[in-house]
Chain A
Amino acid sequence: MAVQSIGEYPIIMKDSVDKFHGNQLVYLYWYGHRVVSSPRAFPLPPEMPFGAIISDLIPVTYKIEPDFEFLDFDKTEVIWEIDGKIIVPDFSKSLKDNGVGHKSFIKFITPSLTGKVGA
C-alpha cells in the first residue's frame, strides 16, 4: 500500500542511533519468563563490557522472577541469542565486539530454569 501523499514524503528515522547521546538501544529477554511483563529496553554504551549485562542488567530486571535465585552464570546452562543467532559471548569484550548493535535483541535461555510460577 505504501504511504499515500500529495507531494514528497520525508524519511524520518525517529530512533536513529545518533539521537541517543553516544548510547545504543539494546533489548533483553529471559526466555519463557512472564512475571517481567515484556522484554526490556536499555540505552547502553557500545563499549560497555558484555559482562555488565550479567552483573547489572539481568539482576535489576529479573530479580523478581521466582527462579532468579537459582540463576548462577557459573553453573547454570545458558544459551545466548543475539538477533536470533546463537552466540557464545565473550563477557570481557564490549557489546559492539560481541555483535550487539543498535536495537539488537539479546535473548538468554536457561533450559533448567523455565520461569514457571505455580503450575
Chain B
Amino acid sequence: MSASIALLCLQATEDGRAITEAIREDNEGVVITNKPAMIQIERAERITVKASTVSEHLGRDWDPEELQLVLISLGGQVDETDDEFIVYWNN
C-alpha cells in the first residue's frame, strides 16, 4: 500500500520560488512540478518547511506564518511552530 502523499501548492512568486528552494534542500525525495502561476510540491508522508533555510534563501528573517501569503492549497495535517511549518499524513 503506497504512502499517502503530502501536498503543498505555492504561488509562483519571488517568495514562493525561494521557499520552494528551501523545501528542496530540506526534504529528500520531494517532487516539484511547475504549473501555470503555481508550484506543486509533493512528498510521501511529510513536507517540512524550515524558517531558517527559507530566511537564508530570502536574505531576510522569515516567519513560518508568512507561508500563508503564498499558499494555494495543501494536502495533509498541519503543524506550525516558531521554526517550522509541517504538512503530514498520519495513516
| Touch between chains A and B, by CB atoms below 8 Å | no
